[in-house]
Amino acid sequence: MLSHRNVEHRNQGGSSKRDGTGGQHAEDVVRSSGKDKDSRRKEIEKEDIDLENVDYMANFEDDFEDYEDDFEVCDDDSTNEPEPREKMEELPPARKKEIQEIQNAINAENERIGELSSKLFQKQGRPEREREPGADANSSPSRAPVCGIFVDFATASQRQKSRTQALKQKTRSTKLLRLIDLDFSFTFSFLDLPPVNEYDMYIRNFGRKNTKQAYVQCNEGTVERDIQTEEMETREAWTQHPGEGAAVSGGSESREPSDAAAVPKVDTLRLSSFLRAACQVVAVLLEEDRVAAAPSRDPGAQDSTLPLSDSAWQLNTSLPFLQHRNVSSLHASPAQRQVVSVHGLPDQACAPPLDRRHLLCVWDIWQPSGPQKVLVCESQVTCCCLSPFKAFLLFAGTVHGSVIVWDLREDSRMHRYVKLSDCFWTFRTATFSTDGVLTPVNHRSPLQAIEPVAASGHRKQSFVLSPFSAQEEMSGLSFHIASLDESGVLNVWVVVELPKADLAGSISDLGLIPGGRIKLVHSSVTRLSDSLSHKGDGRWGAAQTLNVKFLPSDPNHFIVGTNMGFVGHGSRQDLRVFPRFFKPQQHGERPVKVTAVDFSPFGEPAFLAGCCDGSIRLHQLASERPVLQWGLGTAGRAVTGLQWSPTRPAVFFVQDDTSCIYIWDLLKSDLGPVAKQPISPDRLVAMAVVGEPERTSGGFLALVLARASGHMDVQFLKRKWATPVADEQRRLRLLLQKAL
Amino acid sequence: MTSSGAVSVSVGASVSGTEGTLEADKISGKSENTYILRPVFQQRFRPSVVKDCIHAVLKEELATSEYSPEETPLLTKRLSETIKDKLKAMGFDRYKMVVQVVIGEQRGEGVFMAARCFWDADTDNYIHDVFMNDSLFCVVAAFGCFYY
C-alpha cells in the first residue's frame, strides 16, 4: 500500500506538472521545499531525491515519463488497477485506518504551509502552463482549479523584481569571484566513535552490580615516592648577539652559595716574587727560633762560646761542597748582616763541576744551616766586597787581575743545578767578568783590594750634588767600584744595570752572562805608583800598594796602604792633597807592610793602620803623623786584620797571625787592648765583624770567625762591647784632640 | 538492548543570514561597491571564542539529560536556535552562520561524522564540539562564512 502511495505521489507529481493542477503539486512542492520534513525513512529517501529534482524539471519529467504512461489515467490500464485495489483490500482495516490518518495529517500539513509556498508554486506553475497549455484533459476533479486565463499581475511584478535582483546578484558575484579564490577545505572529522560490542560493555560492568560509587578521589597520580635523582640546580643565563642596549647578558641574580666561591684573580708574577721574598724571611725567622730554642748543636765542639761572647753558633760548613775546602777570607757587609766567605779549592777530589772551582758563600748569620747563595769562580779570589747599601751585588778581584761581579738577585734557574746528596744546589756563575775583555784598561797584576765608592759620603747628608741620578740611587747603584792591584793601578768602574736581560747574550759585552743585567764600565784609572814613588830615595824600589780605603764622608779621598810602612793619601780627581803620606811616628823608611787600614765608620776623619810588625797607628787625616801609635799591642806579632766596631766608635778589633783576637776600647784604655782572646786549637784564619749600627741599644755585635779547618762560627759578643756608652763619640773626639 | 539499526537521530538545522545592504542599493539606484573582501580584523570569526560559547551552552543544557525519543527532537531544535542566537549576538558582522546539532543515543554503535567545505579559507572558519554522557552523544558544528 505504501509503495502504491509513493508511486501515486510521483505519478501525481508528474501529472500535476503536465496538467498544472495544484493540490498534489503543492504536496510535492511541500516535500521538496526543504523546510520541515516528516520522519519516514522511505519518504525521506525519496524526498531527498525530490529535493534535488525540484530545480531540474526536465529530469523529473524524464524519470517519471514511463510511470505517467502507466498510471496517468486509471481507466487506461486496467491490468494494474485491480492490483492496487487488491492490495488495498488485503490490508486489514486497522492498517487502512492508519494510512487514512496519515494521509489526513499530510493534507493538513500541506495546507498549513500552503501559503508559504504559494508564490513558489505559482512561479513554477506558470512556466508549466505556458509550455503545455492544453494538457489538462485528464485533470481529476479533486485538483484545485487555480489555472486559468487571468493575467496574474502580482506574479509578474514579483518576477520582474526577482529577475533584477538576480541580475544584480549575478554581476556582483562575477565581480567578486574574480577577486576571491575559493577552494575546498580539509575534511573535518567531528566525531569518531568506534562501535562497542556487547561483550566489552558487559565486561566493563562485570562485578559492579550491586555496588554504588561511594567515593571519588582525584589526583591519584601524585603518589609520594622516594626518588634517587638529585635535584638539578639550574641557573638561568641569557646572552644576546648583537646586543641591544647596555645589557648583553644576564641571568638570575640569586646564586647558590656553593658556586658563589668565586675564584679570585691571581697575579701570578707578583705572587711568585712575593713568595720568593717571603719564603726567605720566613726561613730565616724559623731558623732563628729554632736556634734560639734548641741547645747548641755541637756541645762538645771546640768552638763553643768564647769568654768574650754571650752566645755563639756554628755556620754549617759540613755541606758536601764545602768539605775539604779552606776559608781564605771573610767579608762582612756593613749595611746588612750578610757575610761572604771565600773558599779555596778542595783538597780532595770532588764532584767534577766543582773540583776546579773556587767557591764563595753568602751567609746570613741568622741562618746558620746553610749559605744563602753559593757562587763559583774559576780563578782564585783575593778580595771581595758587597754593594754598599743594598747588598745584592758581590764584587771580587781575582789573582789574574780581573774584576768579577755576581748579581745575587738573579733567578736561580739561570744557573747550574747540581744534585749533591739528595739535595739540589745552585751554583751561580759570575754575571760579569773583566777577564779577557776590556784588556787595555784591565789590571795586569793580582788585585789587592776592591772597594765600593759611595756617591755622597754619608747616606743621610745628601745635599752634595750627586753624580748619580735619583733612579740609580733608588736602585742602589749609586756607587762606583774601585779596584787596586799590586802595581798601583787604581781602576774605577761604573756599575751599569741593563734595563732588560737578554737570554741570548750580548754581542758587545762579551763578559756578560746571557741573561745578566749588571756590567762594569771602566771609568777612570789612577796610577798610584807614580805618586808613591816620589817619596823615598828609591832604595827599596817602587812601593807596592796593598790596600785602599775611601773616606766615607768624602769618597774623593782615599788612603792606600803600601809595603813601605806609610799610607798614601790620594784623591780621585788628582788634586793636591795634604798630607800626601801618613807615616809612622818613627822616621825613616822601613819595609813594613801596612796590612790593614780602616776608616772610622762614624764619620770621624780618622783611620787605623796595622802593620806586619805589630804596630797599630791611629791617624787623623789632617796630620802626617799618627795621633796614637801602639807598637806592642799585639806583642810584636803581625796584624792580619783590623776593623773598627760598627756599633761603638771607640772600639776596634785586631787579629794577629797567631790566632789571637784583641779588643781595644779607647775610652777605657788607650795604652793597649782591653781584651785578648787566643783562639785554639782550630786556628783563626779570618775574622769579620758584623753589627747593627742603627740600633744603639739592644743591637748585637758578632764576630764571624773562620778557622783553619774550614769551620766558621758566629760569636755574639757581650753587651759591654756591643752597646755604646753615653756620648761615646764626643768623648772619643775629645780624647783624640787631647792626644794631639 | 542494543540493535544496530534502532538508532534514532534528531537532526536540526537552522540557517540565518544578513542581507541589509542589498535593499539600500536597490533604493538608491546607483551601482557602487557593496562588497568588502576582508572582514574587519576585530570581527573575524574567531573559533576559540565561539567554542567557549558552544561549550557553555552544551554543559548547561545537557548536563543531566538522558536520551528519549520524544524530547530529543525538540531539544536539538532548541539547542541550535540557542546557539545561533548567541553567535549572532557576538557581533560577527557580515558573517553567515550555519549551526548543526546532532544528538544520538549511545548504544554501543560506532559513529563517524565528517564535513568538508568549499569556502575562502582566509575569512571563513568552523568550530565543533562534542558532548557525551552515558546515554547520548551530541555533536555541534558551527560554520561561519563571510558575506562579501
Residues B24-82 have pLDDT tens digits of 444 444 456 778 888 888 888 888 889 999 999 999 888 888 888 888 889 999 999 99
Give residue B128's pLDDT: 92
pLDDT band at A466 (very low <50, low <70, confident <90, very high): low
Give residue B143's pLDDT: 92
What does the pLDDT look like over A173-187, one tens digit per residue? 888 888 888 888 888
Give residue A413's pLDDT: 79
What value does the mean pLDDT take over residues A232-237? Answer: 85
Q: Which of B120, B129, B140 to mutate to test the interface with A (most CBs of A within 10 A)?
A: B120
Of A180, A190, A197, the CB nearest to B114: A190
Task: Report, in this order, helix, strand and coil percent for chain A, each rounded to 5.
Answer: 25, 25, 50
Alpha carbon distance A398, A393 (integer Å): 16
Give residue B8's pLDDT: 38
Give residue B103's pLDDT: 92
Looking at per-residue confidence, does A15 or A147 come out higher? A147
- The residue ranges of DSSP E strands in A333-460, in sequence order, are 338-343, 358-364, 373-377, 381-386, 393-398, 403-407, 416-420, 423-428, 432-433, 447-454
- Which residues of A fall within a CB distance of 8 Å from B7? none
Alpha carbon distance A578, A569 (integer Å): 8
**A248: region left, alpha or beta (phi > 0 left; psi from -120 to 50 alpha):** alpha
Across the interface, do A195 and B26 touch by the CB < 8 Å criterion? Answer: no
Of A168, A176, A190, the CB nearest to B113: A190
Give residue B112's pLDDT: 92
Which of these ranges, A58-72, A135-149, A249-263, A660-674, has the smallest mean pLDDT?
Answer: A135-149
Give residue A15's pLDDT: 44
**A210: region left, alpha or beta (phi > 0 left; psi from -120 to 50 alpha):** left
Q: Which of A161, A164, A188 to mutate to test the interface with B (most CBs of B within 10 A)?
A: A188
3-state secondary structure A109-124: HHHHCCCCCHHHHHHH
**What are A451's three cell numbers?**
772597594
Q: What is the CA radius of gyration of chain B?
A: 18
What does the pLDDT look like over A296-338, one tens digit per residue? 554 444 446 778 788 888 888 888 788 778 888 888 887 777 8
Give residue A698's pLDDT: 64
Give residue A357's pLDDT: 83
pLDDT band at A469 (very low <50, low <70, confident <90, very high): low
Alpha carbon distance A356, A88 (integer Å): 152
Across the interface, do A165 and B108 touch by the CB < 8 Å criterion? Answer: no
What value does the mean pLDDT take over residues A225-242? Answer: 80
Across the interface, do B37 and A179 touch by the CB < 8 Å criterion? Answer: yes
Highest mean pLDDT, choosing among A10-14, A132-136, A673-677: A673-677
A and B: number of Cβ contacts within 8 A:
77
Give residue A473's pLDDT: 56
Return the amino acid letter for A196.
V
Contacting residues for B41 by C-beta, under 8 A, at least 6 apart: none
Alpha carbon distance A151, A129 (integer Å): 13
Q: Is the pLDDT of residue B90 over 80?
A: yes
Highest mean pLDDT, choosing among A77-86, A223-232, A425-434: A425-434
pLDDT band at A474 (very low <50, low <70, confident <90, very high): low
**What are A315's three cell numbers?**
755556620
What value does the mean pLDDT take over residues A599-628? Answer: 86
Task: Report, in this order, helix, strand and coil percent for chain B, each rounded to 5.
Answer: 30, 30, 40
Predicted structure pTM score: 0.53
pLDDT band at B131 (very low <50, low <70, confident <90, very high): very high
Count of other CB atoms within 10 angstroms of residue B98: 18
Closest to B99 in 3D by CA, of B74, B118, B82, B122? B82
Q: Which of B35, B38, B138 to mutate to test the interface with A (most CBs of A within 10 A)?
A: B35
Q: What is the mean pLDDT of chain A?
A: 75
What value does the mean pLDDT take over residues A181-204? Answer: 85
Alpha carbon distance A119, A125 (integer Å): 9
Count of other CB atoms within 10 angstroms of residue A504: 7
A513, A432 Cβ separation under 8 angstroms: yes
Listing DSSP states for A150-204 in one string gives ---HHHHHHHHHHHHHHHHHHHHHHHHHHH---EE-PPEEEEEE----HHHHHHH
Highest mean pLDDT, choosing among A10-19, A226-235, B65-74: B65-74
Across the interface, do A190 and B2 touch by the CB < 8 Å criterion? Answer: no
Q: Is the pLDDT of residue A459 over 50?
A: no
- Which residues of B fall within a CB distance of 8 Å from A183? 118-121
What value does the mean pLDDT take over residues A519-530? Answer: 84
Closest to A27 in 3D by CA, of A12, A15, A48? A12
Pairing mode of beta strands A701-707, B118-119: unpaired
What value does the mean pLDDT take over residues A652-663? Answer: 88
Of A185, A190, A193, the CB nearest to B110: A193
A114, A26 Cβ separation under 8 angstroms: yes
Q: Could you check whether the bond before residue A681 is cis, i.e. omega within 30 degrees of 0?
A: yes
**What are A360's three cell numbers?**
764563595
A186, B116 Cβ separation under 8 angstroms: yes
What does the pLDDT look like over A545-576, one tens digit per residue? 888 888 888 888 888 888 888 888 888 877 77
Give residue B148's pLDDT: 81
Q: Is the pLDDT of residue A454 over 70?
A: yes
Listing DSSP states for A428-446 in one string gives EPPSEE-SSSSTTTS-SS-
pLDDT band at A733 (very low <50, low <70, confident <90, very high): confident
- The residue ranges of DSSP E strands in A248-337, in sequence order, are 249-251, 309-315, 327-332
Across the interface, do A190 and B148 touch by the CB < 8 Å criterion? Answer: no
Sign of CA dihedral B130, B133, B138, B142: negative
What value does the mean pLDDT take over residues A4-19? Answer: 45
Return the amino acid letter for A67.
Y
Give residue B127's pLDDT: 92
- Which residues of A fall within a CB distance of 8 Å from B114? 187-190
∠ CA(A655), CA(A658), CA(A662), 5° rounding? 35
Across the interface, do A193 and B126 touch by the CB < 8 Å criterion? Answer: no
Give residue A287's pLDDT: 82
CA dihedral A423, A424, A425, A426 (to 10 degrees): -170
Pairing mode of beta strands A423-428, A373-377: parallel
Query: Which residue is closest to A189 within chain B, CA to CA?
Result: B114
- Which residues of A fall within a CB distance of 8 Å from B108? 195-198, 201
Of B34, B116, B137, the CB nearest to A187: B116
Count of other CB atoms within 10 angstroms of residue A97: 11
Give residue A149's pLDDT: 66
Closest to A172 in 3D by CA, of B44, B35, B55, B4? B35
- Which residues of A fall within a CB distance of 8 Å from B2? 198
Give residue A29's pLDDT: 45
Q: Which residues of A sit within 8 Å Cβ distance of B?
A: 164-165, 168, 172, 175-176, 179-198, 201
Q: Is the pLDDT of residue B139 over 80?
A: yes
Alpha carbon distance A103, A86 (integer Å): 19
Closest chain A C-alpha to B5 CA, distance in angstroms: 12
Closest chain B C-alpha to A118 CA, distance in angstroms: 21
Q: Is the pLDDT of residue A366 over 60?
A: yes
Alpha carbon distance B148, A180 (integer Å): 9
What does the pLDDT look like over A255-281, one tens digit per residue? 555 555 566 777 888 898 899 889 888
Alpha carbon distance A690, A647 (integer Å): 9
At A351 the three-state DSSP class reads: coil
Around A133, how many Cα atoms within 13 Å sit in the side-chain half-sphere? 3
What does the pLDDT look like over A130-168, one tens digit per residue? 444 444 444 444 444 555 567 778 888 999 999 999 998
What does the pLDDT look like over A206-220, one tens digit per residue? 888 888 888 777 776
Of A164, A192, A196, the CB nearest to B108: A196
Count of other CB atoms within 10 angstroms of residue A472: 18
Q: Which residues of B sit within 8 Å Cβ distance of A?
A: 2, 22, 25-26, 34-35, 37, 108-121, 126, 128, 130, 137, 139, 141, 148
Give residue A64's pLDDT: 52
- The residue ranges of DSSP E strands in chain B, in sequence order, are 9-15, 95-105, 111-115, 118-119, 125-132, 136-146
Of B117, B120, B139, the CB nearest to A180: B120
Closest chain B C-alpha to A198 CA, distance in angstroms: 7
Compute CA distances A340 → A376, A385, A392, A654, B143, whole Å.
Answer: 13, 8, 12, 19, 109
Burial annotation A203-221 (CB, 10 A radius, 16+ → b, else e) = eeeeeeeeeeeeeeeeeee
Alpha carbon distance A403, A450 (integer Å): 8
Across the interface, do B128 and A188 touch by the CB < 8 Å criterion? Answer: yes
Give residue A356's pLDDT: 80
